[in-house]
Structure 1
């Protein structure tokens, strides 16, 4: 027996042994595949578990029902069924081979050949399988060596693999940013040659892959390489060397401030402020994410960090402060206070209900913020001054 999968907490997940036993893992019919195997070998926490099986989808459904495991046919046309365990969902996919591809979608046929299934996957490090019980690792294309070397390598001809699915261009760089130590020259050359193929992809797919890339370990260096080689020029021409410089500066500030990298914040650094709205729309970001992207580029403001956090929330404040190169220490973990004054208190001081009270309350709040959120006694003094000025103005 060769390489054995190390012990890991996810291997003891409730219901997993029952699931793999029901799917004939003891007879070699079902194996763990992909990220769970790769990340466990690297000592990285595993979030999702995927199983590959020689069983046809209908057989998988029958076996799960017989074992009283809830089965959801999430992608049954492509052979994928989700088994819902007490510890979370597990995707089970029948071995496949590609029949036809167009760069965005694939027509597949089911198979019972492990190597054939491995051959249709993108990179060697993602084509690793493991026996659920013994942990024995099965490697058909040298993925173990590439994993050890920190090398993201296409299975087979890189140009052909990109022609099958254009998103593999971005995946190549994302995986290199996450795992890579030395870049595969053939893979890089193929991505450069086929970069314009990204134009055929939906902007949602591009956004999903790009945002994951932006928070990877070597994101700064990899984005620099992508811009230098023109990878994003066809779909995001706004991202240039200046943007990579802003991105690198932001990453440094995040590290110094011990603030976790954030994909939207980093995207805001990459693009010119004037292009935030158009890029957000082009990438089909949600309305909330578009607003945040635009807000992040609006500068640190004139009232100070706490005022910024009070008015816009701590996340937007941290975005704006980091991008502007301002200090975030006072904002992190700060709980915004509540203005210790109501409209009724202003009415009691002589103002008429309605717009006059609302306007005066806004003035009091602005002064309260400007003075650094003083206590109720000081707010009462401010209120007296504001009401007196308002009443005097009304008489005049």
Structure 2
């Protein structure tokens, strides 16, 4: 035993009690324990997101026990022993104790066991190999998990290289947990193993890589972890060179200083070179959503070049052309590259203007062009584009009569 969590609300909640009662009704007292993140975060005073439970019951027994108790059982990972219980509208991931039989760096063949120590030994890090009984008693089979969690040490269970060989994604998980929970010097054995085995990342599915990478970028301050990734060559295995660590660090800094929300997609864009083709290819390779792909590509356009001293008129012109999202992204990337300087108020004002100004709709249409004497066909679009450019250059003139006069002037100068 390694202390107690006490009776936390998430432990004593009726929905949690219903799941534990169902499992213990089938397997007896202590057949089910909380495991992993909920135990770790409770020890550290961090918010509890997911409640995971480990059990000596087989998946079939778990399903039967939940159904008998009137709870929904979803076979979310049945081959690996995982059943999700739904109780009080909340999901509880329940996994049978396991030991690895064979691994290939991407997936593991497991056998079920009733040995808690064997289950702990197959987990990734000591701070994730913690269990807690429903009375709050914490159990630490590795003997290091509680101390490592409290000290911010991200240490592999057993030999680091062996854990990574079982699943190469653990390389990215090492840096992700370093970003979220790490303190003090990084574990040398872990860092060395990640560097030595970084080539194994190529065998992983794009979805697993992108999901882990974005979770890493979502940490409040991932700068040190990302710097370590770059230093040992891991980041270069995933993203196209040249990587812009300075801009990435600047992006995190301005989000922190200016109380902007953490934006994982923009942090990713900040790391990448200003190459829209390469960015699009990377987004496809990482299987990013269409919306995320489009954002990254738009954010990395080489023009227009944003400067802190742009006039309100120029800001409005860019905002109209780019749209609100791309404008904000481009402004933040330019600010991040510039760093923390005396121009911070100008950048802040630029973004505020972009958020507070609604671009007007261009008041003319093809019908107006035709009415001015231009015949139907491609010329209509050319005339309309020239008048719109004039309208933008005149700071979105709110005078339709003047615009009609300009339209007539342009139309008269065209050869049909």
Question: d(CA) in 1 for partners of 2:410 and 2:12?
Answer: 69
Question: d(CA) in 2 for partners of 1:351 and 1:225?
Answer: 66
Residue 252 (structure 1) shift:
2.1
More moved, 142-151 vs 256-265: 256-265
Residue matched to 1:103: 105
Residue 101 (structure 1) shift:
0.6
Residue 294 (structure 1) shift:
1.7
Residue matched to 2:15: 15
Question: d(CA) in 2 for partners of 1:280 and 1:27?
Answer: 49
Residue matched to 1:222: 225
Residue matched to 1:155: 157
Unaligned runs of 5+ in 1: none
Residue matched to 2:408: 388
| 1:339 is the counterpart of 2:349 | no
Residue 219 (structure 1) shift:
1.6
Question: d(CA) in 2 for partners of 1:301 and 1:362?
Answer: 19
SS in 1 for 2:93: strand
**CA RMSD, Structure 1 to Structure 2 (Å):** 2.9
Deviations 1:161-219 (A, max 9, x none): 11111111111111111110121122112112222222222233222222222232342
More moved, 180-189 vs 223-232: 223-232
Question: d(CA) in 2 for partners of 1:62 and 1:311?
Answer: 59
**Structure 1 residues 379, 47: CA separation in 2 closer, same or farther (over 3 Å shift)?**
farther
Report if the CA contact (8 A) 2:387-2:410 is conserved: no
Match of 1:238 among 238, 241, 245: 241
**Structure 1 residues 43, 217: CA separation in 2 closer, same or farther (over 3 Å shift)?**
same
Residue matched to 1:55: 57
Residue 150 (structure 1) shift:
0.6
SS in 2 for 1:232: helix
Question: d(CA) in 1 for partners of 2:137 and 2:54?
Answer: 15
Question: d(CA) in 2 for partners of 1:49 and 1:387?
Answer: 65
Report if the CA contact (8 A) 1:167-1:206 is conserved: yes
**Structure 1 residues 391, 340: CA separation in 2 closer, same or farther (over 3 Å shift)?**
closer
**Structure 1 residues 335, 15: CA separation in 2 closer, same or farther (over 3 Å shift)?**
farther
**Structure 1 residues 83, 363: CA separation in 2 closer, same or farther (over 3 Å shift)?**
farther
Deviations 1:47-98 (A, max 9, x none): 2221111111111111111111111111111111111233332211111111
| 1:286 is the counterpart of 2:289 | yes
Residue 108 (structure 1) shift:
0.4
Match of 1:213 among 208, 213, 216: 216
Residue matched to 2:179: 177
Q: Matches of residues 305-344 of structure 1 in structure 2 within 5 Å?
A: 305-325=315-335, 326-327=347-348, 328-331=350-353, 333-334=355-356, 336-339=358-361, 341=363, 343=365
Residue matched to 1:250: 251
Residue matched to 1:136: 137
Question: d(CA) in 2 for partners of 1:391 and 1:218?
Answer: 57
Question: d(CA) in 2 for partners of 1:290 and 1:386?
Answer: 39
Question: d(CA) in 1 for partners of 2:68 and 2:380?
Answer: 68
SS in 2 for 1:210: helix
Report if the CA contact (8 A) 2:316-2:359 is conserved: no
**Structure 1 residues 307, 2: CA separation in 2 closer, same or farther (over 3 Å shift)?**
same
Residue matched to 2:3: 3
**Structure 1 residues 95, 295: CA separation in 2 closer, same or farther (over 3 Å shift)?**
same
Q: What TM-score does the superposition give when structure 1 sets the normalisation length?
A: 0.87
**Structure 1 residues 380, 35: CA separation in 2 closer, same or farther (over 3 Å shift)?**
same
More moved, 115-124 vs 230-239: 230-239
**Structure 1 residues 299, 233: CA separation in 2 closer, same or farther (over 3 Å shift)?**
closer
Q: What TM-score does the superposition give when structure 2 sets the normalisation length?
A: 0.83
Residue 332 (structure 1) shift:
6.0
More moved, 287-296 vs 58-67: 287-296
Report if the CA contact (8 A) 2:15-2:90 is conserved: no
More moved, 272-281 vs 337-346: 337-346
| 1:297 is the counterpart of 2:300 | yes
Residue matched to 2:30: 28
Q: How many aligned positions are there?
A: 390
**Structure 1 residues 40, 305: CA separation in 2 closer, same or farther (over 3 Å shift)?**
farther
SS in 1 for 2:207: helix
Question: d(CA) in 2 for partners of 1:387 and 1:342?
Answer: 9
SS in 2 for 1:23: helix
